[in-house]
Structure 1
Amino acid sequence: MGQTTIQIEKAISLKEKPDVSTVKFGTVFTDYMFSSNYTPEHGWEEPAILPYQNLEISPAANGIHYGQSVFEGLKAYKNGDDVLLFRPDENFKRLNTSLERLAMPKINEEVSLNALYELIKLERDWVPEGPGQSLYIRPFVFADEAFLGVRSARTYQYNIILSPVAGYYGGQLDPTAIYVEDDFVRAVRGGVGDIKCAGNYAASILAQQKAAEMGYEQVLWLDGVEQKYVEEVGSMNIFFVRDNELITPKLNGSILSGITRKSLIELAEYKGYTVKEERIHIDELQAGLKDGSVTEIFGSGTAAVISPVGRMRIHGEDYVVNDNQVGPVAEDLYTHYTGIQYGHLDDPFGWIVRV
C-alpha cells in the first residue's frame, strides 16, 4: 500500500439511515467500506473504497484455521458540521503492533489514516448526532491464503467497516457487576494478551457466559501464572480509586495497552489527580473493599469510555462498591473526556482530528 491514490467505487443505491437509538451495537453497517489486499510481490495494493459487501474467501483461508486475525476499534463523533476522530493514529500504531506479533505484514499508518479520512468524508451523514451516539470504526486484517499449513500466510485482506452506535448508557452512567475469574486465565506474558487478536476474545467467552449465568455482566481476569494479580476486564482496562489516588494495573506484557486507558491517565494527571500504575494483588483489592479504602472501581474502553463498577465478586464473596452508585472520580473523568471527544470542551492534548 505504498501509493496514496484511493479508488472509490460508487454504490448504485444508498441505504436508509436507521434510528440509531434503536440499533443494537455492531448490527447495522454503512454504505461503504475500505479494502486492500496484500501479496508478497506487491505488498499492500489496490486500496479502494467500495460499497459495503460480503468478502470472498476460500474455505481453506489460513486465518480461519490458524487465527492470523487482528482488529482495532475507534469512533467518529458529530459536532455541528464537523466530524471528530479521537487519536486515530494511536489505533493504527497499535494495529501494527498486533500485526508484528502475529507475523503479519504491517500496514502503512499514514496511508491508513488518509484512507479513513476519505471513508469518513464519504459517510459523514452516517455519523449520528444524538447524545452519546457515534460511528464505530472497525479496521481488521486477516490471512486469506488458501493453505492448510501452520506458517505465516502469504496473502491478507485489510478492511475498514463502519457502524452507527447508540450511547452506551443511553445518556447516563450505569454501574455494572463484575465477577473475578478464579479458574480460567486470559493471557500470560510473552503471549498475545497485549494485542488485539481475535483469539483473545474467543478464549474469554466461556468465562463471560459463566459470569452472566451468575448475574454478572463482565469478567475481571487475574494474571495467568499465579492467578493473584489483577489484569483487565474482558473488553476494558480497570481503574481503582484508593485513598483518593487513581490506581491501575501496570502494563506487563499480558495486558492490552488501551488507548482510553492511556488517555484517561494523561487527563487525570492534567486535572491534578495522583495516578499510579502498580501490580495489584487481588487480596489487597479485597481488603480495600472491606476496609473502605477502595472507594471506586471503573473500567475504561472505546465502547463506554468509563464503565463504573457497582458490585464485584471476589473468591465467592460479593462487595458493593460506592453503594452501587457512580463515583465522583469516574463521573468527573467521564464528563471531561467525552466533552473533548465531542468537541464541547477544549482539547489541550491535540487528540482530536477534524474531518
Structure 2
Amino acid sequence: MSAGELLGQIADVGRDTRRGGYSRHAFDAPERELRTWFVERAQRLGLDVETDRNGNLWAWWGAPGPDAVVTGSHLDSVPGGGAFDGPLGVSSALDAVESLQDKGFRPAKPVAVVVFAEEEGGRFGVPCLGSRLLTGSIDADRALALRDPDGVTFAEAAAATGLDAGRVGADPERLGLIGRFVELHVEQGRGLIDLGSPVAVGSSVIAHGRWRFSFTGQGNHAGATRIADRADPMLPAAGTVLAVRRLARGREDARATVGRLVPTPGGTNVIASTVDLWLDARVPGAETPELVEEITVAAREAAGSEGCELAVTRESYSGDVVFDEPLRRALGEWLGGPPELPTGAGHDAAILAGFVPSGMLYVRNPTGISHAPDEFAEDADVAAGARALTEVLERLAK
C-alpha cells in the first residue's frame, strides 16, 4: 500500500473541529488510535512490533541487532496541525518496506520503523520527548513530572498506557542497535518550491529552544479596581510579545514566536493574577540564548513598571545540528544529486544525530505552510519521497 493510501486510512483520526487540522497528542485517544493502526499495518508486513521503555514503537524487519537501519518519524501533532507532519514519514517507511519485500529484497542488516512519542511537545511541552528520553538528553525524573494543561503528569499518562514509569529514561542498549537513522519529513517551508525539486536531503537544523515566562500580579475585579491601583500581569506579557518581534528582527535569520499565552483565572471580568507565555526562539549558531536574554531584560522592565514579578524557565534547548556528512553525501549520490536544505524545524533525527549517524529527506510542500491545516504534499511528490526512502533503505541494508 502506498504512502498516500496509508495517509488516507488515518485522514479522519484526530480531526480538530474547533481549530481545523488535527490535534493528536501523546497518549490521548487519537494518538492511541494511530498507534493501533501502525501496529496493525506493520504486522501485516510481517514486522515484529514492540514498545520501548519510553513509549516509542519499533517495528522490526529481521531480529533486532546491532548496526540496524532505522527509519520513521512520529504520529502526534501540534494543536490544529497538518496531515503530513510526522505521519508522512511513518507511512513512507511502511511503503518502503513493502516495496522492498515485493521485489524480493532480503536485508543483510536489521531494519526497523520507529514511531517516536511526543515529538511535537503538544501535550507535555518538551519537543522530541521520546528521542530525548531514549538518548538520555533529558532527565527521566524531570520528564515524568511534566504536566499537560489538565494537570496530568507524563508519568500518569505513560502508566495509563501500560508503561512502567520506573523504567522510563535513557536506553543505551537500544540506542546502540542503531547503525544509521534516516527520517523522511514533509518540508516545513518553501525551499523546495523555489528549487523546483520534489525531494531534498537535510543538511542542518538551527539551534532552538522553548522558555516559559510567568508574570505574577494581583488578581482583582475588572470593574471595581481603578487603573492606578492595578498590578495587571497582562500588560508586561503583552509588552513581551511585542519585544519578541522587535528584538528578533534585529538579528539575521532569527525566528522568535509567542504562540501560547495563558492568563489565570481567565475570566472576562477579572484582572489576571498570573499570565504565562511560552517563547519559541531559534537563531543559527550560539545566539539563541543571547536573544532570549535580551527578551528577558525587556520582560523584566515591563513587569517592574506594572508592579509585577517575572520568573523565566527554560523548558528545552538544542544547539545547531549538522547531519552526518558521509551519510549525507551518500544520500545525495544514491538519489541523483537532490538539493540540500537546512531547516529551522526540530526533528527526532536532530536529537539522534548527537549519538548515531543520522540524516533526513524532505518532501516538497507546495503551500510552504506547516503546523497548520494548509500543510500539504502532492501525491506525485509523496510517491517520489517514498521511492527515495526505498532506495536509501535498500542501499543501507545490503
TM-score (norm 1): 0.25
TM normalised by structure 2 equals 0.23
Larger Rg: 2
Higher strand proportion (structure 1 or 2): 1
Higher normalized helix content (fraction of residues) = 2
